[in-house]
Amino acid sequence: MSSPLLTTARLTMPALGLGTWPLKGRDCEEAVESALGLGYRHIDTAEMYGNEAAVGAGIATSGVPRGEVFLTTKIWHDKPDGPAFRAAFAASLERLKQPYVDLLLVHWPSPALNLPSVLTALAHLHAEGLARAVGVSNFPSALLRQALALDIAPIACLQVEQHAMLSQQALLDITQPAGIVMTSYTPLGKGEVLEHPVLTRIAARHGATPAQVALAYLLAKKLVAAVPKARSAARQAENLAATRLVLSAEDLAAIAALPKNRRFVNPDFAPAWDPFPA
Ligand SMILES: NC(=O)c1ccc[n+]([C@@H]2O[C@H](COP(=O)([O-])OP(=O)(O)OC[C@H]3O[C@@H](n4cnc5c(N)ncnc54)[C@H](OP(=O)(O)O)[C@@H]3O)[C@@H](O)[C@H]2O)c1
């Protein structure tokens, strides 16, 4: 089974990918190999995960041609200017043993972020073909608007936490009209949103699992991708099969009506987030 593709002017990517945090070492390599064997063609890693070497090894041992895999990495927020960002990305490519990545993201904004300088580095890396597409992660709407207004780098993707209990509507209002893909991280709410009775009821009605419902809800949105993390082949297959689940307008409305006020990833260095909807 394969994931449907999202295509914009700036990239083509499988809507469903594999998240790899906090997998490490052999465990991570096996998870990547297993996912690619099942038909995944989109893998999400980051410098900070400490698993880029394992991800690269998993891609290599899978036997899937590199050109078929959409590989994302991210550079940590302690590289707040272009030269530091570039140097860190060169080290990422070495660990991954890859000549390029498909998507390179600024992992988090930091208070020290020199936005024009980092965007300039992204633009150059894109022009040089080392990053086939570029984007940002964990940018709230004011900062995303600022990055887009600068018009330095061709931002193709925004990766943020999004799930049945966090809508990110303020950001979708920017990304969808701009043709930017929003990649949902923590799309299963770390497994917690799966116990909600609204999700379990919809799942039972479709003969699906709550995880599949949680993912199908996100993937039904325009230009939204998701990168659930699953270690076992069984859960990886379950999550990939969510791309075939079509929820009714009534199902989508019932999930949309749930409170959207849960954020699972909120480190002390996080930016001032957009407020939850009233
Ligand atoms: N850009 C960022 O700052 C950022 C931040 C956080 C995460 N991410 C990315 O997003 C990925 C996913 O986010 P996440 O790991 O925080 O959370 P998540 O994908 O929402 O949840 C992962 C948890 O759900 C479990 N799970 C997976 N499939 C399941 C299924 N079908 N049924 C029940 N439980 C299931 C996993 O367990 P098992 O693995 O044991 O199956 C794991 O405990 C990360 O791996 C990372 O690549 C990015």
pLDDT (tens digit per residue) in 168-193: 999 999 999 999 999 999 999 988 88
pLDDT at 191: 81
What spacing in Å lies between the alpha carbon of 188 and ligand 1's midpoint?
6
Average pLDDT over residues 28-36: 98
Q: Is the pLDDT of residue 153 over 90?
A: yes
The CA distances from residue 135 to 11, 31, 143, 178, 207, in Å, are 11, 25, 13, 13, 37
**pLDDT (tens digit per residue) in 78-131:** 999 999 999 999 999 999 999 999 999 999 999 999 999 999 999 999 999 999
What is residue 28's predicted lDDT score, i.e. its pLDDT?
Answer: 98
Which protein residue has the closest C-alpha to ligand 1 atom 29? 235
CA-230 nearest atom, ligand 1 = 39
* Distance from Cα 187 to the centre of ligand 1, integer Å: 7
Position in ligand 1 atom list of the atom nearest CA 239:
31
Q: Is it the case that residue 64 has pLDDT exceeding 90?
A: yes
187 lines ligand 1 (CB under 6 A): yes
Ligand 1 pocket, 92 CB below 6 A? no
Give the mean model confidence (pLDDT) for residues 15-28.
98
pLDDT for position 278: 78
Check pocket membership of 184 for ligand 1, CB cut-off 6 A: no
pLDDT at 190: 84
Whether 230 is in the pocket of ligand 1, judged by its Cβ within 6 Å, is: yes
d(CA 207, CA 203): 6
What pLDDT score was predicted for residue 118?
A: 98
The mean pLDDT value for 229-241 works out to 98
* Residue of the CA atom closest to atom 28 of ligand 1: 230
Spell out the domains of the chain, with CATH numbers in brackets.
13-256 (3.20.20.100)
pLDDT for the residue 192: 82
User: Is the distance from the beta carbon of residue 27 to the nearest atom of ligand 1 less than 6 Å?
Assistant: no
How far does Cα 165 stand from its chain's mean position?
17
Distance 235 CA to ligand 1 centre (A): 11
User: Among 168, 181, 185, which is best to mutate for testing ligand 1, by the most ligand atoms less than 8 A from CB?
Assistant: 185
Ligand 1 atom nearest to 264, measured from its CA: 16
For residues 188-217, give the mean pLDDT. Answer: 95
What pLDDT sits at residue 114?
Answer: 98
Distance 185 CA to ligand 1 centre (A): 7
Region 56-83 average pLDDT: 98
Cα 227 to ligand 1 centroid, rounded to whole Å: 7
For residue 31, which of 190, 232, 239, 228 has the smallest C-alpha distance?
232
pLDDT, mean of residues 63-75 = 98
Cβ atoms 133, 163 nearer than 8 A: no
Catalytic residue flag (residue 49): yes
Catalytic one of 40, 49, 185, 217: 49
What angle do helix axes 52-62 and 82-96 make, rounded to 10 degrees? 40
Helix axes 197-206, 210-219, angle to 10 degrees: 90
Report the C-alpha dihedral over residues 39, 45, 51, 53, rounded to 10 degrees: 70
Q: Which atom of ligand 1 is nearest to the CA of 105?
A: 1
Mean of pLDDT over the chain: 97
Residue 188 CB–ligand 1 contact under 6 Å? yes
pLDDT, residue 171, reads: 98
Query: For position 269, what pLDDT does the model report?
Result: 96
Nearest to 242 by CA among 178, 199, 274: 199
Which atom of ligand 1 lies at the shortest distance from residue 235's CA? 31
Q: What's the rounded mean pLDDT across residues 59-66? A: 97
